[in-house]
Amino acid sequence: MSTSLWLRTARAYTRNSRKQSALLARTFASTSCRNEINKVFPSASEALKDMKPDTTVLCGGFGLCGVPDTLIDEVANKPELRGLTAVSNNAGTDESGLGKLLKTKQIRKMIASYIGENKTFEKMYLTGEVELELTPQGTLAERCASGGKGIPAFYTPAAFGTVVQTGELPLRNNPDGTPKELSYPKDVKVFEGKPYLLEESIRGDYAFVKAWKADKLGNCQFRLAANNFNGAMGRNAKMTIVEAENIVEPGEIPPEAVHLPGIYVKRVIHLQQSENGILGLGPYPQKGLEDADLINAGKETVTLNPGAAVFGSEESFGMIRSGRVNLTILGAMQVSGNGDLANWMLPGKIKGFGGAMDLVSNPSMTRVVVTMEHCDKKGNAKIVKQCEFPLTGKACVSRIITELGVFDVDFTKGLTLIEIADVVTVDEIKSKTDAPFNVADDLKLML
């Protein structure tokens, strides 16, 4: 409250005590009493009764972890809800998650980072049945988080020098697989000598969120890695609907355990069926001890080491882009002699970026190591002079490890072979490597 407003209120209070109640009510009023608020709806059908076609829906989840299946299933039961723009890291599988809405042709456009093994999604995109705005995973998380904070756009280093920046990424294809509509070139600016590209934030009409616990005020608690995109998306939309495994009374969720405050949530339902943000990843669980809310970037169930932490996807990729992760290890389809990386698309096939573009966006702070087979299935070299496939990152790979040897990469001077496998000769490696390379004076045997 401003000083002048406080003084006016105090003077009025002292002049006429009978006006005390009315004046204070006017000055400090809230819209409704806290104990009268109940955001719980009896069913998903009731919670979605006023949803319209042609809306933008943000859908939390990563793989099959933290996915609001009850709400998705209810949309599938409402065939009139068509022309949807769905925003999600991926579209689940052919039979689950948003894959169901792709099969029913209710989704017109997907904004996602990864297609993965969803054959329905891949086929529909390649044949022009659905539009796809493919976005690096960390950028997608930040577009949702920024939109929820009222920030219209932001600059990121991820995807500089790729088709995302140049505007050569097909948004929609013709039935024969040729591009019908391309993305637009991104504005690029240089900050402290490093290029960044401008990304626009996303604003959703609806957000579907899955929580472990929610109270009647809408406060939510996520469980372990199920936070993923749910937190950022839940803060974004005009109408956030939460499906919760457990609905509890206000106060049962400790204040410090509230991951999504109720101010962002409009409706809560009880679900009918019961990268990604982990530091301190442990080994695979023993059989029978798997936890669906604890998965790694490959969607495999994992465990946590002592001292581990879990958090949302937007924070996970913030750590990565800011250089707080010292080392990242990826696979590749091709790596060039100057460290360019291509690992997300082959002709006629597409998996998507996932988080790879973010992982390689700060090579001066995060060392990028590629582990791969030396040649592809057809015997073609994967270490090449220049990548033929669309890039994941430019001049970002600092070491290449294959079954034949280990190369260090200098972004200007090229490759140096520093280790060689047993029973392998330098001449054999040269015959299977398209890019030229030097041999270290102290060439060592691979362990």
For the stretch 285-296, pLDDT in tens is 777 777 666 666
Q: Which of 74, 243, 275, 314 is catalytic?
A: 275
Question: Does an H or E element contain 28, and which?
Answer: helix 20-28
Query: Which carries the bigger pLDDT value, residue 323 or residue 14?
Result: 323
- Categorize the per-residue pLDDT at 272 as very low, low, confident or very high, splitting at 50, 70 and 90: low
| Interatomic CA distance for residues 315 and 312, integer angstroms | 6
pLDDT exceeds 50 at position 25 = no
pLDDT exceeds 50 at position 189 = yes
Domains of the chain plus CATH, in order, are 35-272 (3.40.1080.10), 325-445 (3.40.1080.10)
In 281-371, which residue ranges form alpha helices assigned H by DSSP?
313-321, 356-359
Average pLDDT over residues 213-231: 92
Q: What is the pLDDT of residue 292?
A: 64
Burial profile 148-161: b = 16 or more Cβ within 10 angstroms, e = fewer? beeeeeeebbbbbb
Residues 6+ apart with CB under 8 A from 175: 127, 128
pLDDT exceeds 90 at position 75 = yes
Average pLDDT over residues 147-152: 96
Q: What is the pLDDT of residue 66?
A: 86
- Categorize the per-residue pLDDT at 4 as very low, low, confident or very high, splitting at 50, 70 and 90: low
What are the phi and psi torsion angles at 325 (to 5°)?
A: -100, 125
With pLDDT > 70 as the criterion, what percentage of the chain qualifies? 85
Q: What is the pLDDT of residue 94?
A: 84
* Ranges 37-51, 105-119, 160-174, 339-353: which has the least confidence: 339-353
- Categorize the per-residue pLDDT at 298 as very low, low, confident or very high, splitting at 50, 70 and 90: low
- Categorize the per-residue pLDDT at 383 as very low, low, confident or very high, splitting at 50, 70 and 90: very high
pLDDT exceeds 50 at position 232 = yes
Q: Is 252 a catalytic residue?
A: no
Residues 6+ apart with CB under 8 A from 397: 332, 335, 339, 340, 341, 360, 363, 368, 369, 370, 409
Q: What is the pLDDT of residue 157?
A: 95
User: For residue 409, which amino acid is it?
Assistant: V
| Interatomic CA distance for residues 244 and 41, integer angstroms | 11
